[in-house]
Structure 1
Amino acid sequence: MKHLLIPALLAAAWAPAAQAAGSLDKIQNIVVIYGENRSFDNLYGLFPGANGIGRAFVEQSYLQTDMNGKVLPQLPPTWDKPGVANKDIPQGLPNMPFSIDAPPINQPLNKATNDLVHRFYQNQMQINGGKNDRFAAISDAGGLSMGHYDGSSLPMWKIAQEYTLADNFFMGAFGGSFLNHMWLACACTPVFKDAPDSMRAKLDANGNLLTKAGSPTDPLTGAPQYQDGAVTPDGYGVNTLQPTYQPSGIPPANNPALADSSKHPLPPQTQTSIGDTLSEKKVSWKWYAGGWNQALNDRSQIYGGKINFQPHHQPFNYFSRFAPGTPDRAEHLKDGQEFFDDIAKGHLPQVAFYKPQGELNEHPGYTDVMSGDAHIAALVRKLQASPQWKHMLIVVTYDENGGFWDHVAPPKGERWGPGNRIPAIIISPYAKKGYVDNTPYDTTSILKLITRRFKLAPLPGVRASAGDLTAALQD
């Protein structure tokens, strides 16, 4: 079957498979580890038995076009900045996926590449109705968007071979990290009705971004420049916004616990989150963030310093329930070191989320793949040695695709997503061993799993059509 966004085919493909949940009641601890910015094909496109890059070559579904639908004669250069090509990646690469870590490029997994645009409207324009054929034309990194790795040397690849790799798992929302962290927390898009006009995207009649005056029109000569913004015209936050509560990318003005309100942080949100539904049922849970305490105590570590702490990766810090000084904040928002300590002591809560700090999260631009992958794999091994392991389920996945191409069309959803395919690995004594799970999932499947296991009230944004990960469990 060709992976195109054809409604009749997608209706069938996106219907959840029959789910074997005989082991679910035995799970007492669910751990979610949330990496950064990798499409499935970028890391696992060569994984044996998975729907990988080879399928794209059979179907010839990889060809990239310009904005008029004309097939490009070659990939655009990898842009370092507007009009300036990267010297380490050759120009004139053929119009097809290429190996970043093989000749003629030979950039290993422990070397960071350029960052790539991964924003709400650009992502939809790259997907182009399911063709996935405008990644190179729209990316501010040009042809790099078509790059992938041989991930077989990665420690997490080996863990995926031991347990279950989901090869039909999609990011919850279009675009970047901010919105996809919110979708992990609440399956919702934040509201910013009073955002100034300067923060709102400017769209044409088709809902696509308007270009700036003088924007390049040929992808081979430069990346397009758009009249983009963090907020939709009708007041929803879809690209990176800073929290009102510290740690924030906006320094305080008077109150050291708050961002300067004149710089327009996102107002505290009040939508129902998975934290609310867990607390309502008295199910213990924590969000552990690498570098949390350091970022609170030293602003130089926010978007910089050794740990490169990313405030927009901390979704619960955007909600009024977790305001500074509240009991819920003290109980649920924790530093990453406490995660390591709780693993060793066997004191993890029933639901644990872990967010690696910037240097260890695999995000292109400011870190490499191998450092974060090795960090996550080491944590998995520590979890396996924990007293709680025998009744544990771990989900290792990524927030979004990071602007990297993937050959599988996202399922037809709604205004917010789902976006492109990303890796997800299900690890548990009860997970199927050496298994590739083709069940359709997205980020909200994690919420669905937690909700089902602990009999929570369902969150309204969780997609009914997506599976709940129980197909990865043994009968």
Structure 2
Amino acid sequence: MYQISVVNRTSCIADREIHRVVRAINRQISEDFEPYWAFGGRLRVEGPAGPDSELAQLKELRGDAILYILDSAAHNDVLGYHDQNLAGIPFGFVYLDLCKSVGDEWSTTLSHEALELIGDPQCNLLVQGPDPADTNRTVYHFFEMCDAVQAQSYVIDGVTVSDFVLPHYFTPEEEAGLRNDFCATDLKSFGVSSGGYIGFFDPEKGDYRQYFAHDELAQRRLNAKAGGLGRVVRRSSMQNEPASRKSQLAGRFAATAANGATVSTLPGDPIRHVVVLMMENRSFDHMLGALQVSNPDIDGVDPQNPGVNLDAKKDNAPHKQTPMAAQFVSNDFKVPHEFENVTRQIADGMAHFVDEFRSLNQNAQTGEIDQVMAYFKDGDLPALHTLAKSFTVCDRWFSSMPGPTWPNRFFVHTGTSLGDVLMPDGVIDTVRMFFGRYSQRTIYDELSDKGISWKIYHGGVPQSIVLSHLKRRYFTSSFQEMDAFFDDCKGPESAFPAYSFIEPRYFDGVLGGENDQHSPAGVVAGEQLIADVYNAIRANQALWESTLLVITYDEHGGFYDHVVPPATVAPDENTDNYAFNQLGVRVPAVLVSPWVAKGVDHTLYDHTSVLRYVCEKWGLPAICRRTVLAAGEYQSGTFVSAISQAKLRTDTPERISAPAPSSLMARKQMEAPSTFHDAQTALVSYAELVRQERERTMGRLAPTRPALAIKGNGKKAPVPVSERAKAIETWFAQEKGSARPAIIAAPISVPPDISMSMPGKKVTSGGQHKRSLKAKGRTGTSRSGRS
């Protein structure tokens, strides 16, 4: 049987979704296509090639042909026939951005390409028929399966698949009662349906020609495919290309300056290093709102007209925005920011932050509730406020979805949360994550593919390793503790990574105190981190003059902001749980560089703006729908316009300071909660699974189970999460070669030998099990390059 390998090289489609679509297409081939044509084939999903694979080898191919699913038609890996061991192998591509631009489902395009690849070895010939434009003349039509009806589709098991022609289509005479395509449209023999086309060879003129339906749909599709997204894809064999051209086509080098530092492909962009520091759980008004008094251009808090929420449980008592934010929120109260909380908070014009706080804290007093509405006075946050006053404040930067930490952090790394809107809940969720729940490609994969350097610096256990593509990179030099960041800042500018992401410390442990600013942790330690990062970059003049530092927060953490989040477009097809058509609450964001102005940027940003800037800057493929032109008014903003200084600024602070902890703050830090919140517990449990896998991979004995504490009644209790956190943090540091104190016990929170994949959480659910004709289409390129 003819076998087609399907390889997922996208950043936004989960492998489980690929499998679902492939099952539907295989059913289409066996039940619909093969009974008419008497030949068929099968699709099977292969493992992704990965960022380190060689295009000349492509080990994922195990069939007779190959279909790639790619984010963009401008992808550098789109090459035509592959050389060496894959020379001459039939191939096809599905481009997500091109599908989106013409309103196609990518599954329809995959179906179309599969049917044509199956047909090629069976019927790769020319058939005599009439010239569509002049039926009195005879030309030779290419034996294609779907081009004539490429704007038609139908549904199998909830998956949209391509219409295709039947054998009768390739007959010169019409016969009553016989249909020419599977969906039984009004297609004529050797004709085209709306939006479709056919290719043929004209023997008189000796050239290949195409005939398109004379309608708006066909013209729109033709315009998009002819270069609306960047370039026409090459289709000739690479075997005859010189080595230098092969290298260029493969995109295996990045433009470099004389000193070896990666340079931008954006005209006039002087930035060679991008550093992103993402803190935790604070809203814009809460952290930067007070600066409106000193700079009225900032859309912050107006003291004369502050935001107000009413307490429905207390006779609609008003709670106004006041400059009385506390350094620490009481450990006894939880500030809600889960998906359901946030959707209610932002309803009715941001009217229910107090109600949501009250729903979780029934006994809270007025002063405690006021903290949800409170904001820091100008100068309370000397590090963040100094940078905001000295550089560019982004007062339209929103979290990527209305929800909690982890889904929003996935957006800054990958442009999608694969439809998840909730935090992990317990052991089952942790196991589900460990075994590939988040298998999407990351921005780091794209950078690696292009040979662009990157590192993730962290304060102990990085949350980003929850992503499968990053978990397997953790024990490489791409992940470093913060000490390495400060050392790298002291080294040569050319040796500093082109892209860096900094993760703060998410919990107290042997390596230091929590500094992510996640409530109830205080803001002081996070202020120190912000100051330290800035000061380290600023101290190296060459590095400073070539760096953009982006400081932002993953989500609002339940603290009030007065700006209603605007509409957006879903990043991918994973919309069963939520439509992803509205951004989350506004968060603090500051662009820091000698190449940005002192002032305010009102551009609409969300976390995918980081991805858009990086991808456009270094010529990487688009990573999600929000970053492409097809998103229209919902396209995420880019920093290009903000980096517009005519010359290097010389008036930037040489050093900034953070507030010194008072004795009260120090005491409160000592009184940090002994119980971990869900995100911390899940991260510890996940890290323990990583250790377990590492021990097995290295051929060591499996780690021992945790020692159990003895309670007064003689019963055993599990080791507290705080102790497990210290143990796993120490092991991580030692495994990476850092000199850290040893801890004997190494607890494991889940049983060994678990090898299951758990289904994702559902907020809402639904299914579709039907077949119906739809006027939809497909956009791809098959082996012949004619579709």
Shorter-chain TM-score: which interval? Answer: 0.5 to 0.7
Matches within 5 A, 1:353-364: 353-358=501-506, 359-364=514-519
2:381 counterpart of 1:381: no
Q: Which residue of 1 aligns with 2:460?
A: 291
CA-CA distance at 1:272 after TM superposition: 2.0
CA 1:471/1:25 → structure 2, altered by over 3 Å: closer, same or farther? closer
**Aligned residue-pair number:** 339
CA-CA distance at 1:348 after TM superposition: 2.3
Please, what is the CA RMSD of the aligned residues?
Answer: 2.7
Matches within 5 A, 1:235-384: 236-241=419-424, 264-265=432-433, 267-268=435-436, 269-292=438-461, 314-315=463-464, 317-324=465-472, 329-346=475-492, 347-358=495-506, 359-365=514-520, 367-384=521-538
The aligned amino acid for 1:148 is Y
Q: Is the contact between residue 329 and residue 371 of structure 2 (CA under 8 Å) also seen in structure 1?
A: no
Rounded Cα–Cα distance in structure 1 between residues aligned with 2:322 and 2:430: 45
After superposition, the C-alpha distances for 1:220-273 in whole angstroms (9 at most, x for unaligned) are xxxxxxxxxxxxxxxx4322228xxxxxx96xxxxxxxxx89955453222121
Select 2:623's aligned residue among 419, 443, 459: 459
Select 2:387's aligned residue among 144, 154, 159: 159
Q: Is the contact between residue 394 and residue 603 of structure 2 (CA under 8 Å) also seen in structure 1?
A: yes
Select 1:53's aligned residue among 301, 312, 326: 301
Give the percent of matched residue pairs that are identical in Structure 1 and Structure 2: 26
Q: Is the contact between residue 24 and residue 470 of structure 1 (CA under 8 Å) also seen in structure 2?
A: no
Select 1:36's aligned residue among 264, 277, 280: 280
2:357 counterpart of 1:189: no
Rounded Cα–Cα distance in structure 2 between residues aligned with 1:267 and 1:397: 30
CA 1:381/1:123 → structure 2, altered by over 3 Å: closer, same or farther? same
CA 1:473/1:262 → structure 2, altered by over 3 Å: closer, same or farther? closer
CA-CA distance at 1:340 after TM superposition: 1.8
CA-CA distance at 1:42 after TM superposition: 0.3
Q: Which residue of 1 aligns with 2:271?
A: 27
Q: Which residue of 2 aligns with 1:150?
A: 377
Q: Is the contact between residue 441 and residue 469 of structure 1 (CA under 8 Å) also seen in structure 2?
A: no
CA-CA distance at 1:44 after TM superposition: 0.8
CA 1:280/1:263 → structure 2, altered by over 3 Å: closer, same or farther? closer
Rounded Cα–Cα distance in structure 2 between residues aligned with 1:173 and 1:51: 21
Q: Is the contact between residue 73 and residue 95 of structure 1 (CA under 8 Å) also seen in structure 2?
A: no
2:316 counterpart of 1:73: yes
2:565 counterpart of 1:402: no
Rounded Cα–Cα distance in structure 2 between residues aligned with 1:148 and 1:183: 27
Q: Which residue of 1 aligns with 2:404?
A: 176
Rounded Cα–Cα distance in structure 2 between residues aligned with 1:32 and 1:62: 33
Rg larger in 1 or in 2? 2
2:624 counterpart of 1:441: no
CA-CA distance at 1:329 after TM superposition: 4.9
Q: Which residue of 2 aligns with 1:62?
A: 308
Q: Is the contact between residue 33 and residue 396 of structure 1 (CA under 8 Å) also seen in structure 2?
A: yes
Q: Is the contact between residue 310 and residue 351 of structure 2 (CA under 8 Å) also seen in structure 1?
A: yes
Larger displacement relative to structure 2 (143-152 or 403-412): 143-152
Rounded Cα–Cα distance in structure 1 between residues aligned with 2:549 and 2:407: 23
Q: Which residue of 2 aligns with 1:253?
A: none
The aligned amino acid for 2:379 is S
Rounded Cα–Cα distance in structure 1 between residues aligned with 2:446 and 2:469: 13
After superposition, the C-alpha distances for 1:42-61 in whole angstroms (9 at most, x for unaligned) are 01111032111108x54x75
Q: Which residue of 2 aligns with 1:392?
A: 547
Q: Which residue of 2 aligns with 1:256?
A: none
Q: Is the contact between residue 398 and residue 607 of structure 2 (CA under 8 Å) also seen in structure 1?
A: yes
Rounded Cα–Cα distance in structure 2 between residues aligned with 1:143 and 1:64: 11
1:330 aligns to what SS in structure 2? coil
2:472 counterpart of 1:472: no
The aligned amino acid for 1:239 is L
Q: Which residue of 2 aligns with 1:425?
A: 590
Q: Is the contact between residue 329 and residue 519 of structure 2 (CA under 8 Å) also seen in structure 1?
A: no
Rounded Cα–Cα distance in structure 1 between residues aligned with 2:626 and 2:330: 34
Q: Which residue of 2 aligns with 1:10?
A: none
1:471 aligns to what SS in structure 2? coil
Runs of 5+ in structure 2 lacking a partner?
Answer: 1-264, 362-368, 507-513, 570-578, 646-787
Rounded Cα–Cα distance in structure 2 between residues aligned with 1:448 and 1:37: 23
CA-CA distance at 1:444 after TM superposition: 1.0
Q: Is the contact between residue 392 and residue 591 of structure 2 (CA under 8 Å) also seen in structure 1?
A: yes
CA-CA distance at 1:143 after TM superposition: 4.3
2:517 aligns to what SS in structure 1? coil
TM-score, normalised via structure 1 length: 0.66
Rounded Cα–Cα distance in structure 1 between residues aligned with 2:430 and 2:353: 36
After superposition, the C-alpha distances for 1:83-120 in whole angstroms (9 at most, x for unaligned) are xxxxxxxxxxx42112334xxxxx4x367675411111
Q: Is the contact between residue 412 and residue 611 of structure 2 (CA under 8 Å) also seen in structure 1?
A: yes
The aligned amino acid for 1:42 is H
The aligned amino acid for 2:642 is A
Larger displacement relative to structure 2 (175-184 or 334-343): 334-343
2:455 aligns to what SS in structure 1? strand
Rounded Cα–Cα distance in structure 1 between residues aligned with 2:429 and 2:525: 36
Q: Which residue of 1 aligns with 2:345?
A: 126
Q: Greater share of strand residues, 1 or 2?
A: 2
Runs of 5+ in structure 1 lacking a partner?
Answer: 1-20, 75-93, 102-106, 191-235, 243-248, 251-259, 293-310
Rounded Cα–Cα distance in structure 2 between residues aligned with 1:24 and 1:43: 33
